[in-house]
């Protein structure tokens, strides 16, 4: 089911820009956000809501910029990999501290750490470029230096492959003993401990995985935009990631991407006719989905899929 839905989504995202070219950029941004939202959705499986995951989104983006500027690494795939590793490591370190907390406290501590990071990004001008941010140049591909236009196409289709890969891997993880133990943390942590399983360790792995996904999403975003700013780590972006996860639906991994595509499309159209009101539109859309579609947008697809399969 997941396989069919995610490939369907990727096909739509691959074909539409052939007719409407500027959609390619919108979709690449959507995949970036969707990867990060998938990370947030993983944590939601464990009943943990983070309003600070923009931290890892920004870590991924800034890691890419730093690696290019300071270490002279320009190879696209290597940058994707290294930035994700950096985000994962940061996630592991911060996670050791976070796994002690649950519910509101978990949410707020993530918020606090991300706000510290946001402030550092904004204030440490000599390292981070402060509020001006940093430029992310066009990377090389297996040693070749593509033009910006060529690279954008590579990024556009490459990100769709990342999307499929991430959705399938996370799907397997969530069905594995470790992933099911994560949902078990949500429903009965005491029982989980009485099975001899450390709930904290289960959460730590999920947390690191979610940081990795958010970091990867941030890197994709950095490459797509070509310029990064501290606002990537601001708490409203974190809120947006949770919004995307729930809007799309956490019942399946394609949900996060469906939510992200929906959000980016609405934003694009809203900028055209009501630039100052796009948050109102998103806010109302969110409330409508929460009130009337408890399984999110992906629930719609899932339900029709199920009905179709019943004889």
Q: Give least dist CB 92 to another protein, A.
A: 15
| Torsion angles phi and psi, residue 124, rounded to 5 | -85, 70
Name which of 85 and 195 has its Cβ closer to another protein: 195
Name which of 132 and 193 has its Cβ closer to another protein: 193
Where does residue 72 fall: left (phi above 0), alpha (psi -120 to 50 degrees), or beta otherwise? left
Q: Give least dist CB 140 to another protein, A.
A: 32
Q: What six digits make up the tokens of 83? A: 């930035």
Beta pairing class for 227-228 and 134-135: antiparallel
Q: Give least dist CB 132 to another protein, A.
A: 16
Q: Give least dist CB 229 to another protein, A.
A: 15
Name which of 155 and 237 has its Cβ closer to another protein: 237
Give the binding site for another protein (CB under 8 A): 44, 47, 49, 51, 97, 100-101, 103-105, 107-109, 111-113, 115-116, 119-120, 122-123, 172-173, 175-181, 183-184, 186-188, 190-198, 202, 205, 234-236, 239, 242-243, 246, 276-280, 282-284, 286-287, 290-291
Residue ranges with strand state E in the chain: 134-135, 227-228
Taking each helix axis as running N to C, give the angle between helix 235-248 and helix 103-123, from 0 to 180 degrees, rounded to the nearest 10. Answer: 130
Q: Give least dist CB 247 to another protein, A.
A: 9
Name which of 77 and 290 has its Cβ closer to another protein: 290
Q: Give least dist CB 298 to another protein, A.
A: 16
Residue 88 contacts residue 211 (beta carbons within 8 Å): yes
- Give the Å distances, CA to CA, from 82 to 59, 95, 193, 278: 11, 19, 35, 35
Cα dihedral 251, 257, 263, 267, rounded to 10, equals 180
Name which of 68 and 113 has its Cβ closer to another protein: 113
Q: What number of residues does the chain have?
A: 311
> Cα–chain-centroid distance for residue 310?
34
Name which of 13 and 33 has its Cβ closer to another protein: 33
- Give the Å distances, CA to CA, from 3 to 10, 168, 254, 295, 304: 11, 7, 9, 19, 16
Name which of 23 and 205 has its Cβ closer to another protein: 205
Name which of 151 and 234 has its Cβ closer to another protein: 234
Q: From CA 226, how far away is CA 306, in angstroms rounded? A: 42
- Rg over alpha carbons for the chain, rounded to the nearest Å, is 19
Q: Give least dist CB 93 to another protein, A.
A: 13
Enclosing H/E stretch for 295: none
Q: Give least dist CB 281 to another protein, A.
A: 9
* Three-class SS state of 292: helix
């Amino acid at each position: 089911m997941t396989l069919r839905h995610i490939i369907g989504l990727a096909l739509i995202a691959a074909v539409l820009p052939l007719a409407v070219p500027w959609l390619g950029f919108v979709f690449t941004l959507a995949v970036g956000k969707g990867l990060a939202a998938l990370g947030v959705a993983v944590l939601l499986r464990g009943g943990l809501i983070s309003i600070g995951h923009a931290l890892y989104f920004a870590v991924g983006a800034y890691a890419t910029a730093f690696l290019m500027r300071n270490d002279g690494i320009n190879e696209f795939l290597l940058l994707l990999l290294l930035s994700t590793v950096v985000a994962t490591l940061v996630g592991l370190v911060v996670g050791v501290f976070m796994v002690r907390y649950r519910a509101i406290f978990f949410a707020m501590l993530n918020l606090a750490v991300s706000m510290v990071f946001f402030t550092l990004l904004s204030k440490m001008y000599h390292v981070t470029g402060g509020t001006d941010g940093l430029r992310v140049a066009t990377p090389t591909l297996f040693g070749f230096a593509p033009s910006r236009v060529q690279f954008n196409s590579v990024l556009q289709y490459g990100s769709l492959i990342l999307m499929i890969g991430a959705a399938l891997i996370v799907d397997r993880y969530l069905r594995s003993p470790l992933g099911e133990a994560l949902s078990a943390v949500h429903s009965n942590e005491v029982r989980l401990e009485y099975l001899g399983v450390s709930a904290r360790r289960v959460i730590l792995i999920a947390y690191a995985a979610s940081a990795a996904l958010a970091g990867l999403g941030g890197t994709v975003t950095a490459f797509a935009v070509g310029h990064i700013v501290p606002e990537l780590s601001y708490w409203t972006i974190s809120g947006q990631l949770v919004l995307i996860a729930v809007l799309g639906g956490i019942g399946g991994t394609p949900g996060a991407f469906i939510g992200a595509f929906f959000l980016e499309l609405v934003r694009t159209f809203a900028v055209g006719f009501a630039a100052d009101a796009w948050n109102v539109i998103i806010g109302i859309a969110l409330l409508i989905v929460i009130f009337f579609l408890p399984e999110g947008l992906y629930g719609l697809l899932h339900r029709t899929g199920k009905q179709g399969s019943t004889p």
